[in-house]
Amino acid sequence: MADYLSPAHFLSLPRPDAQVGTPQGVPDTSTLAAADFDVDNRTGFMPPQPALARLPSDWDIWEEVMEEAITKKIKLGSREDLTEEDKEASERWRERVRQMPVLPTEDLNRSEFLLRRAHHVLAHVMHFYVNSQPAASASQIIIPRSITLPHLRISAQLQLPPVVTYSDDVLYNWDYKDSSLPDPYRIPTTENIKAVTLFTGTRDEEEFYLSSARVELRGVEALELMRLTMDEAFVGDAIAFRRITSHLHDMVDVIKGMTQQLVRVREGCDPSTFYNEIRPWFKGADSAQGSWVFEGLDEDSTLLEPKELSGTSAGQSSIIHALDIFFGVDQYSHSLTLSGSSTDQGASNASYNQPDKKSFLSRMQAYMPRYHRAFLNHLSANPRPLRTLVAAHAHDAPELLDAYNVAVTALKEFRDAHMRIVAIYIIGPSRKAASSAQEKQDEKKRLADVDVDGKESLKGTGGTDLVKFLKGVRDRTASAVMSQPAQAA
């Protein structure tokens, strides 16, 4: 395993046992240092080096079954064009998964990098296993103990649900296009990364993941602007207000840059390919037609059956949550609760405490790396929130209020762009599927629920009523714009 970090870095130190807590001598990662939140000042929430490329030989079989699924192009079980040969190949692969031994995971606990790779591999194997099942057997999917036991144990250590997450597909799923640059200069950039693990092996899938990675990298400057703004807020004088105003105008440029990176997905990802061939692979149990049953849970009393398994979602991006919290719009955008969201209060395993599930976006924080959740918690605890400061000085610093509103409007426009992407990649293809003579009757019924704007009631990979949810978040973000104070008579 490559030694990416110095021995003094907190990720290189002995890991606390998830069941016991932090051992004596290991620093508490809730400190103020950005490094302790696994946030890099050059790359933000993206790691500055690629994730571990392969587990040690003791866990070769996990790597091999994932590689086999990819190289043999195991197909979705829901496809109507499956040949008997396709079905037999999928079943042979699933039988190999069922016959795998239950490998021990204790030696993986010593390293965050090993655990991340193990979660990545087992989550992808699980999604291949679930989604290659024949459609006729989709009412209940039995996930074999060879996956269940190690995957839930690893997820408990990482404090993540046992499902493919945004960090599996985006944050820890890249490598350099060009690795010839000397090490001090070789960090991920929007033009020098490629995706590694793909369900379909298509450029379309790679571009889908890379569009999110580029948004993360373009948003790095926003984190520094947040820090500078918070420092000035502690001073709170007229000079500080002028500097905060300047930082907010710079923030507008960053958010607009993030929007530009978001819409780049159209350059390389075909909407029909995404909707029909890519999206079904990473749906979670919350948006699946059948239930997922985890075999072997009775063999380990420390594990509980996962109660909530949303698929990977842009709602799991820490940079977007950080912007919401920094601007104080999370009280608007994160308060949205829709009937399509899960409300189960159970924990996915014994050491994984999920947050309050009053909203979808709050739930999605449980799918982030725990150090990034700690960063968001720290940001939320800022004793001098920007929005409060702007409201308190709207009279004597109107230019600060104007800058704040322009920045919030830019964030609303980011969500407008996201809505357009959803319309192109999900709503449009779903309408075509609904009008197809070959569409199954139950799918037609699901897509027949049309709202007053003519938008279908669709489920996102996170299990939400997609259109209503995104429109609600967008509109609530817009409502966070503050009005000018009334002039004194």
Binding residues: 418
Q: In this structure, are residues 311 and 284 in contact, taking their beta carbons and an 8 Å threshold?
A: yes
Which residues are part of a known binding site for heme b? Answer: 418
At which residue do the structure tokens 């507008």 appear? 252
Amino acid present at 63: E
Burial of 174 (0-12, 13-18, 19+ CB in 10 A): buried
Tokens read off for 435: 């009008």
Q: Which residues contact 227 (CB under 8 A, 6 or more apart)?
A: none
What is the rounded CA–CA span in Å between residue 331 and residue 321?
Answer: 11
Q: In this structure, are residues 163 and 122 in contact, taking their beta carbons and an 8 Å threshold?
A: no
At which residue do the structure tokens 């820490």 appear? 318
Q: How many other β-carbons are positioned within 10 Å of the β-carbon of residue 235?
A: 13
Identify the bridge partners of residue 193 per DSSP, sorted by sequence position. 176
Tallying the residues shown for the chain, one arrives at 489
Q: Which DSSP category does 143 fall into?
A: E
* 25 dihedral zone (left: phi>0; alpha: psi -120 to 50; beta): left
